[in-house]
Amino acid sequence: MAIGKAISRVEAGDKVTGAARYTEDVRVAETAHAVLLGSAISAGRVRGIDTRRAERAPGVLAVITHLNRPDFAAVPPTPYTAEGRMPLVDDRIHYAGQYIAVVVAETREQAEHAATLVVVDYHRTSPVPTLDAALSQAYIPRENGLARVPSEYRRGNAEAALAAAPVRVEEEYRTAALSHAPIEPSSTLAYWEGDRLTIYDSTQSVHMHRPLVAIAFGVPEDRVRMYCSLVGGGFGNKSYSWPHVFLAPMAARVVRRPVRVTISRKQVFTGTGHMAATVQTVRLGADQDGRLRALIHDSVNQTSFIDDRQETASAITPYVYAVPDLYARIRVTKVNTGTGGAMRTPGDSAGAFALESALDELAHRLGMDPLELRRRNHADVDPVSGRPWSGKQLLACYDQAAERFGWDRRNPEPGSARDGDDLIGYGMAGGQRTEHQRPAQATVDLTDDGTAVIRSSMVEIGGGGLTTLSQIAADGLGLPTAAVTFQHGDSALPAAAPTFGSMTSGSTGSAVKLAAADALRAAIDLAVGDRRSPLHGADPDDVVAHEGGLRLRDRPGDGESYRALLRRNRINTLRGDGDFQPEGEDAEHAMATFGVHFTEVRINRYLPRVRVVRHVAAFSIGRVLNAKTARNQAQGGIIMRLGAALMENQRPDPVSGRFISPALTDYHVPVNADIGEIDVIFVEEPDTNANPLGARGLGEICAVGICASVANAVHHATGKRVRSLPITPDKLL
Amino acid sequence: MDETTRESPPSRRAFLSRSLTAGAGLAALGGTGTATAAAPAVAAAAAVDPPETLPVSLTVNGRRRTLRTDPRTSLLDALREDLGLTGPKKGCNQGACGACTVLLDGTRILSCITFAVMFEGAEITTVEGLADGDRLHPVQRAFVEHDGFQCGFCTSGQITSAVGLLAENPRPSTAEIKELMSGNLCRCAAYPNIVAAVESAAEGRS
Amino acid sequence: MAFLRPTTWPEALAAKAELPGAVPIQGGTDVMVEINFDVRRPEALLDLTRVAELARWSETGGRLRVGAGVPYSRVIGELGDRLPGLAQASRTVGSPQIRNRGTVGGNLGAASPAGDSHPPLLAGGAVIEVESAARGVRMIPAEEFYLGVKRSALEPDELIRAFHAEPATGPQYFSKVGTRNAMVIAVCSFALALHPAERRVGTGIGSAAPTPLRARAAEEFLAAELDWAAGLAPAGLAPGVLARFGELVSEAAAPIDDVRGTAGYRRHALAVMARRTLTWAWNDYRKAREQCA
């Protein structure tokens, strides 16, 4: 069995030698370079824009503004079109950095230079700079950004139950705006041949994004070919098509040449979304024995003047604990900032900070162990639908992680543990993510040299899908993983599920499994019907794949290799088709992934910067496809959220609303020296209720609950409850 | 509240023409015998097409390369655009991420914040130059074995940085590795695996 | 943009005189960030990497002269014993890649209040050697060098040639507070140097005022309070002395709230760093005295 093995990534050789090709590495002859000019103001309009000097600058091919742009054919649908307003459509400015001109030149240096020559006459209006300034205007959006998430959810009468509860916690929690900060800035290279558009794009899904471009330019979808093999950091940053994606084909049309747009690091911060800041209130009511009676979770996030994009912080809350009376609401409020994106883990990461902090506060008030409080409120079935879970090993996660961490050594008294000048704190928190599935297609070709080729449009963003899906095909056909190659990242291939939303394993993985099974079936049918085959006449159900060929289940000696079978029959390839269709609303089971986190912090009592020295997490994700890549991904998700807990903050200027520090020099993400011991446990149980493969997603659940776990540990260390992220030293003085 | 502002950034063309004058003056001063074709002491800008370029010869991954480049061109851009290498990456263009790390005479530096024309005669090694034919460098092998990456975009920089680190300090402690690899951001946060890879490469050497 | 490549110091001075707007570049770690981000558009760049003498240091008559082109990594490796405070600060500059290229000269040229070399240069009483073709050499004490945010006493036609400092005669310490464990610009920083021969104390504060600065009142207080001759005296520092020194250092600063930290945290952290560095330094001093005795 290849599945589950800790094998090295199939693309590792390319990645360690510099041979791996990302979008910015693609070279097309005659490519011109476009630089995008962003607005210097955050609200108002462009009264005049003088491009004459820029147009005369050396090498300049075109300067495109709202005054001379070609029309878009239509506005493609949101949210996968990131902004509901197409770039350059009018003179309105909604946020600082919004693109107001495209300068195209022979070289990037020339385009950058010419962009500095564009003179803009702004009409400035008073911006709404911050979430706080807009909080009183919060509203429930009429159009929901994510159709699957209701803006309001109610069961029972939460207000009445809260009033009647003997113990209550009612607090406000805040999360900061965050940047995905992928190391790869987005890049798009586009060229037209008649009405055929070829587009290389840093995208997490060629098949989700191709139709958007086709709609925008009014061409049939099959005339657009979109490529993306490797993404240099996704985290949701490249799960939507941001405005630059549409500007590259537009510029290519104007100059009749291939055009590349690679956004600057600053534009990664301003032009490709962020996790919106939230203000949340959580109100909990419980019995003295810790049983939750009422839960109200209300969230407001900033959105842009262009879109009503929700950071769905309270969306998961109804599903997590067995609370009879519950109310959850998600509102937005408009700020002069760009539209928020979907950042690992949309909604749930921010929401878990509030909910799991509040539970810790409740446990403290009750004098109860925080882990025990969660055990007592365990949701044995999905509290929303009443359906059983497809698989849930959360209680086992609690047990194993607590034991590994040494939770029983914790003295519940805050401030009780010290080591010299260090205050030591232990904290924990839970996490849950609804499991999403989408249709996915793949083919697996058995070839007459005894190898197999997977064909599916999947983009590799680092989650390890190229490897795990190769393992799946290998097992399905009885081949070593090394005998499987993967054609991917091309919209001409069968449509994979997008590489976001934790869908690769469950959805695309299932498609590959089905395709491999189909190819195997075709090979078996060929063999049993072939007089020259040692398997001739056998019952197909008795034939199995084994070591590069077929054999009888009960008589291992009888069989032959795929190579022999195909060559004798003069067949180059036998194709198996895999079409995974999720059960959707009619599923018998509710599906989610689950996790728990335990964190040890150390805080110097004089310079109280929080250091996470140890973190133990356990996850329930069904089957683990590759222990090596899974562990890496889980560690990474944890560390990313440690950044959100302790340092990351995309702060808006209190007057203009523009991000103060759109640069990696000041938007600090964790560095190697920040990382203590990270220990990950998978409580494995193949979940065939969820899909044929038995695997649920990992990339998102691993990043839910960490911030609360840290904040709870900080409280345990210091007695101070920090309800606003990030937990910086000034908040602990 | 409405107000109108007119923002006109200073023009690069303007200082190009200014420097033409200045450059002419300096050329007159350059009679010290140091101005050669390969390395003029003073190179004047020209405000005409195409923009001025300067010649630079350097050794990249063992091959002598000569190119003419805009003096504004960073070493990173020269490696990627002029010499066609894809290993060094532009992550931030301000020395904050480390994805552009290359070795200068064996010492790790950031290629994005240094000009190509400053490297006359220098020996540059990028990640493409580490392997010996098909045989990966021990640090590359260790990154594969320990899964020291996810998306791979920072990996070229991590690996060249690790090679530089082991040249500076062949037996680093775990804490030293963490600190001395901190110039290379990994947003996928494969940090624990990167540390394991560098440790194992260091052990393999000793 | 002109790119000037002098190979000797007189050529460099001549070029700077001819083109005072030319920006000197050594490692590039400061200058080029601003160029890449279009913060700065110099009319010309003056590449000093070919002026070999700038990458040398020497020690004559008990004084060190360190060329403006000596990178941080060499300050750490070659001068760590003579200039321990500066070497400690150099270890905290950016990343190893930046330390391999960045120089103290560049740090002085940029004159950012957050530059890591400034506090130890102030505490150690360094003197900056600058020169112009027209007026020759000027020796500027570090304290008089920093005039404002990113403004120094350097005239447009001058170049920084070297800095001069005495090798440490007593303990020197540097401490820096950042938002993460490495790769940080200082939220604030502090350097302390004890000069036992003169019974003098040197201090330097970074990133907590428009310029790097000395905490003079703190220096004078401490110089008077320390029992320099104590040597074998059993007592450590009186808690009152430590606390007061911290207060005086904190009071000397004029911090603001910014994206890296709050003014309140900076004042607090300065006091802590002052107490810490003093504790370390005094322990070293007493140990050294014990060994002598």
- Could B151 and A120 be called an inter-chain contact, meaning their C-beta atoms sit closer than 8 Å? no
- Could C177 and A647 be called an inter-chain contact, meaning their C-beta atoms sit closer than 8 Å? no
| Phi then psi dihedrals of residue A415, to 5 deg | 75, 10
Contacts of B12 in chain A (CB under 8 A): 113, 116-117
Whether B113 and B92 have beta carbons less than 8 Å apart is answered as no
Sheet holding C2-4, edge to edge: B42-43, C2-4, C44-47, C22-25
> What's the average model confidence in pLDDT over A360-375?
98
Whether A200 and A228 have beta carbons less than 8 Å apart is answered as yes
Are residues B125 and B50 part of one domain? yes
- Could A668 and C179 be called an inter-chain contact, meaning their C-beta atoms sit closer than 8 Å? yes
The closest of C188, C195, C204 to C269, measured between CA atoms, is C188
Residues in chain B with pLDDT values less than 70? 1-51, 205-206
* Nearest residue, CB atoms, A733 vs list C177, C179, C264: C264
Assess B91–C contact: CB distance below 8 Å, yes or no.
no
**Interatomic CA distance for residues B161 and B127, integer angstroms:** 10
Question: Which domain-ending residue is among B99, B129, B159?
Answer: B129
Domain that holds residue B78: 46-129
**Interatomic CA distance for residues A62 and A259, integer angstroms:** 11
Taking phi first (over 0 means left), then psi (-120 to 50 degrees means alpha), and beta for anything else, what does residue A194 get?
A: left
Counting residues of chain A whose pLDDT is more than 90, the rounded percentage is: 94
Q: Which CATH architecture has domain A152-177+275-436+587-732?
A: 2-Layer Sandwich (3.30)
Instruction: Enumerate the active-site residues of A.
Output: 700
Cα–Cα distance list, A261 to A61, A119, A562, A719, B94 (Å): 14, 21, 46, 50, 19
Residue A152, SS3? strand
Instruction: Give yes or no for residue A700 having a pLDDT over 70.
Output: yes
Q: Which two tokens stand for residue C76?
A: 């750490």
Are residues B142 and B96 part of one domain? no
Are residues B119 and B161 part of one domain? no
pLDDT per residue, tens digit, chain C (293 aa), is: 788 999 999 999 999 999 999 999 988 777 777 777 666 678 899 999 999 999 999 999 999 999 999 999 999 999 999 999 999 999 999 999 999 999 999 999 999 999 999 999 999 999 999 999 999 999 999 999 999 998 999 999 999 999 999 999 999 999 999 999 999 999 999 999 999 999 999 999 999 999 999 999 999 999 999 888 865 555 568 889 999 999 999 999 999 998 889 999 999 999 999 999 999 999 999 888 888 76
Mutate which of B19, B102, B158 to test chain C, going by most C C-beta atoms within 10 A? B19
From the options 3.40.50.12710, 3.30.465.10, 3.30.420.40, 3.30.2450.30, give the CATH code of C2-110+126-165: 3.30.465.10
* Alpha helices per DSSP H over A482-574: 509-528, 562-568
The number of distinct structural domains making up chain B is: 2
Contacts of A647 in chain C (CB under 8 A): 179-180
Q: From B180, which residue of chain A is nearest by alpha-carbon distance?
A: A673
| Phi then psi dihedrals of residue A695, to 5 deg | -115, 135
Residue carrying structure tokens 């905290």: C92
B102 domain-assigned: yes
Are residues B169 and B98 part of one domain? no
Residue carrying structure tokens 């033409």: B20
Q: What is the dihedral of CA A512, A514, A519, A522, to 10 degrees?
A: -170
**Mutual orientation of helices A465-477 and A509-528 as an angle, nearest 10°?**
20
CATH number at B172 reads: 1.10.150.120
**Could you give the maximum distance between any two Cα atoms of chain B, in Å?**
69
pLDDT digits (tens, 9 = 90+) for A195-226: 999 999 999 999 999 999 999 999 999 999 99
- Report strand pairing: B42-43 vs B54-60: unpaired
Q: Which chains touch A (3 or more CB pairs under 8 A)?
A: B, C
Mean pLDDT of chain A: 96
- The conformation of residue B47, written as its DSSP 8-state character, comes to S
Q: What is the pLDDT of residue C228?
A: 86
Q: What class has domain C172-292?
A: alpha beta
Q: What is the pLDDT of residue A558?
A: 86
- Could C3 and B54 be called an inter-chain contact, meaning their C-beta atoms sit closer than 8 Å? yes
pLDDT digits (tens, 9 = 90+) for A409-422: 999 999 999 999 99
* Nearest residue, CB atoms, A58 vs list B51, B187, B188: B51
Instruction: List, in order, residues 6 or more apart from A394 with CB less than 8 Å away.
Output: A378, A430, A594, A596, A620
From the options 3.30.70.2740, 3.40.50.300, 1.20.120.530, 3.30.365.10, give the CATH code of A12-16+438-581: 3.30.365.10
> Tell me, what amino acid is at A102?
V
- Could A183 and B89 be called an inter-chain contact, meaning their C-beta atoms sit closer than 8 Å? yes
Mutate which of C8, C9, C95 to test chain B, going by most B C-beta atoms within 10 A? C95
Are residues B154 and B124 part of one domain? no
Question: Which domain-ending residue is among B86, B107, B129?
Answer: B129
* Alpha helices per DSSP H over A442-580: 465-477, 509-528, 562-568
From the options 3.40.50.300, 3.90.1170.50, 3.30.420.40, 3.80.10.10, give the CATH code of A31-124+184-232+238-271: 3.90.1170.50
Instruction: Give yes or no for residue A550 having a pLDDT over 90.
Output: yes
pLDDT digits (tens, 9 = 90+) for A141-151: 876 555 557 89
Domain with CATH 3.30.390.50 in chain C: 172-292
**Interatomic CA distance for residues A5 and A467, integer angstroms:** 11
One fold for both A12-16+438-581 and A152-177+275-436+587-732?
yes
Q: What part of B 25-84 touches C (C-beta under 8 Å)?
A: 25-26, 29, 32, 34, 39-45, 54, 71-72, 74
- Could B22 and C18 be called an inter-chain contact, meaning their C-beta atoms sit closer than 8 Å? yes
Question: Which domain-ending residue is among B80, B112, B129?
Answer: B129
Question: A446 pairs with which residues across the strands?
Answer: A452, A574
| Least Cα separation, residue C32 to chain A (angstroms) | 14
Q: Is A456 exposed, middle or buried (0-12, 13-18, 19+ CB in 10 A)?
A: buried
Whether C233 and C282 have beta carbons less than 8 Å apart is answered as no
Domain range annotation of chain A: 12-16+438-581, 31-124+184-232+238-271, 152-177+275-436+587-732
pLDDT digits (tens, 9 = 90+) for A11-38: 999 999 999 999 999 999 999 999 999 9
Are residues B52 and B112 part of one domain? yes
Contacts of C33 in chain A (CB under 8 A): 665
Contacts of C73 in chain B (CB under 8 A): 107
Contacts of A606 in chain C (CB under 8 A): 272, 276
Residues in chain A: 733
Domain with CATH 3.30.465.10 in chain C: 2-110+126-165
Q: What is the pLDDT of residue B21?
A: 28
Q: What is the pLDDT of residue A588?
A: 92
> What's the average model confidence in pLDDT over A239-246?
97
CATH number at B80 reads: 3.10.20.30
> What's the average model confidence in pLDDT over A500-506?
90
Assess B163–A contact: CB distance below 8 Å, yes or no.
no
* Buried-state track A668-683, b at ≥16 Cβ within 10 A, e below 16: bbbbbbbbbebbbbbb
Assess A136–C contact: CB distance below 8 Å, yes or no.
no
- Could A668 and C184 be called an inter-chain contact, meaning their C-beta atoms sit closer than 8 Å? yes
Are residues B114 and B50 part of one domain? yes
Residue carrying structure tokens 């307003």: A85
Whether B5 and A122 have beta carbons less than 8 Å apart is answered as yes
Q: From B34, which residue of chain C is nearest by alpha-carbon distance?
A: C7
| Least Cα separation, residue C69 to chain B (angstroms) | 14
First to last CA, chain A: 55
pLDDT digits (tens, 9 = 90+) for A284-294: 999 999 999 99
Confidence (pTM): 0.94
